[in-house]
Amino acid sequence: AAARGCGGVWRRACQRGAGGHSLAPRGQRAVACNARGGAVPPGKSGLAPWVPVVGLEIHAQISSNSKLFSGSEVQFAAPPNSLVSFFDASLPGTLPVLNRRCVEAAVMTGLALNCSINKKSLFDRKHYFYADLPAGYQITQQRVPIAVNGSLSYSLCIDNKMSQMVTKTVRIKQIQLEQDSGKSLHDDTRSQTLIDLNRAGVGLMEVVMEPDMCCGEEAAAAVRELQLILQTLGSSQAIMAEGQLRVDANVSVHRPGEPYGVRTEVKNINSIRFLAKAVDYEIQRQIEELKNGGTILNETRAFDSKLGCTVPMRDKEGKQDYRFMPEPNLPPLILYNAKSLPANMNHQQVVNIDWIHERLPDLPSVKRAKLVEQYGILPEHSFTLMSEDGLTEFFENVVKQTQMKPNKVIGWILNDMLSYLKQHSLTVKESPVSSFLLADLLNLLEKKEISSTAAKQVLAELWKGEGKTPLEIVKEKKLELIQDQKELEQICQAVIDGQENEVIMMVLE
C-alpha cells in the first residue's frame, strides 16, 4: 500500500529525455542517498533527477508462548509438525480463540511507534489456496487494524561518518495482527512438497511504513531501529535470520514534481544488510530501465543475495483477488483505557491501553539520550552501545565497578572489546572477559598501577579466558608501574652505576 503507479507519466518522461542522458555507470553507487534525502543527481542532459521512493511492509513474529488463535506452543526449529493444534491444521469445526498476549504485544508496539490504538478493531479472512495455508484463508485485520497513524524516528550517519548523524522520521500507516503461514519444503528430486505447520498460526504484527524513505540505507536504518524497539519491548525477538522479522520493500522512482512511479515489491530479504543492497539495486534497475525507454511492471521481485540483484518472482496466477470477508468466528476486538474500563468486568477479559502505556520500558531513543546525559559520552557512542545486544548493560556494569570516568571507559568498550568480539563473531554475552574483569583491569590502569600499553597486553591475555585475574597477569608478566620515587631512583642509580659509559653516551645523544 505504498507508491501508487502511473506508467503513463514514465513513458512521457522517457520520450522527453530521449537523447542520451546517462547515469552513473553500473557498479558505481548511483543511488547516492546522502541522508539529506536528496534525489539522484541529474545526468549530463540536465534532465530533472530521479526521486526514489521506498515503503516497507514488515512482518514481526510476536514473542509469545502460544499461537495467535490456538494454544500450541511457539518455538523455533522444533521437529516438523510437532507444534500443531487441531485449529492450526484447520480440522473442521475448530474455532479461533484470540491470544491476549498477542494483543498486548501489538498494543505495546503501537504505543511505542506513536500510533493511535483503535479501541475497536476487526478480523478478516484473506483467501488464497496454498499448501502451507491449511484453512485456505489467513485471518488478518484488513478493514480496521489494531493501530494506525504512527511514526518512527531513526538516525543514520552522513557519508558513513559516525560523527555526522541525522534523524529522520517515517510514518507508520498501520499495525495489524495476523496469522503466520506454515512452511513448504520442495523436494525437487522426488517432486513432492513437504509441509511443516509448526509456524502456521503464529501471531504476526504487520507494520506498514509509508513510502517516506529514499534509499537502501534509510530503509535499513529504519528497520534496525524498529528491530531495537521490538526487542526492547519484548513484543518480538525480531531476529531476521530466524524469520522473526521479515521485510518486503516497495520501490518506485519518479521525476520531482511528478506522480509516483509504478512500484515493485521486493521480497525474500533476510538481513538488514541485504535490505539496503536489495533496495539500492532495485532503484538503480528501475532508473536504468526507464532511462532505456522501458517500463516498470507492477510485479513482485525476489532478492537473490548471492547474485546481489532482484529477479521477477514467477507468479503464475497473476493478480490475486483475496475475497476478503469479515471473520465471523471472532467478535470485534474491544480495547479499553482507564476511562472506559467497565467496573464489573473480569480482568482476564480486558486489555487496558493505559495500563500498558504506563509500563512501557524506555525506548532506544530515550535510553540513548539518558546514556549521553548520564555518562557524558558522545551521541554516536550511545548508538553503538544500543545497537549491540547487551552492550549497554555491559558498559554500565563496568562503569559501576570502576573509578575510571565513563567517557574513558567507553573507548575501551567500543574500540578494544567490540572490535575483538566482531573479529571473533561473538556476542556480548559470549565474551570471555566479563564486565567484572574489565572493570578490574581498568581500575589498575586508573590507579596508575599499569600503563595503558600494559593494560592492552593484559586484555589480550584475558581474552584467552584462562581464568586469571588482571592482577595475576600483571604480576606474572611484571607489568606493574613503579610508583615509589625512591625505588625508581634506586633503580636508576643502579643502572647508572653499572653502565656509566652508556648512560653518558645516551645523555650526549
- Kindly list the residues in this chain that would bind other proteins in the complex (CB under 8 A): 86, 89-98, 125, 127, 129, 131, 134-137, 193, 195, 321-325, 328-331, 346, 349
Report d(CA 51, CA 39) in Å as an integer.
5
Closer CB to other proteins, residue 65 or residue 419? 65
Q: How many angstroms separate the most distant Cα atoms in the chain?
A: 102
Task: For Cα atoms 61, 67, 72, give the angle at the middle one, nearest 5 degrees.
Answer: 135
Q: Are 37 and 214 in contact (CB under 8 A)?
A: yes
Which three-class secondary structure state does DSSP give residue 398? helix
Phi, psi (5° rounding) for residue 171?
-80, 140
Closer CB to other proteins, residue 186 or residue 429? 186
Report d(CA 174, CA 209) in Å as an integer.
8
CA atoms within 13 A on the CB side of 335: 27
Instruction: DSSP letter for 205, please.
Output: E
CA distance readout (Å), 261 to 5, 299, 303, 500: 5, 13, 20, 84
Q: Are 81 and 118 in contact (CB under 8 A)?
A: no
Report d(CA 216, CA 213) in Å as an integer.
8
CA distance readout (Å), 12 to 44, 50, 297: 19, 14, 16
Which three-class secondary structure state does DSSP give residue 504? helix
Q: Are 121 and 142 in contact (CB under 8 A)?
A: no
Sign of CA dihedral 367, 370, 374, 377: positive
Phi, psi (5° rounding) for residue 310?
-100, 145
Report d(CA 261, CA 460) in Å as an integer.
55
Cell of 455: 593494560
Q: Which of 364, 352, 338 is nearest to 112 (CA)?
A: 364
What is the smallest separation between the CB atom of 111 and other proteins, expressed in angstroms?
Answer: 25
| DSSP-assigned beta bridge partners for residue 247 | 58, 269
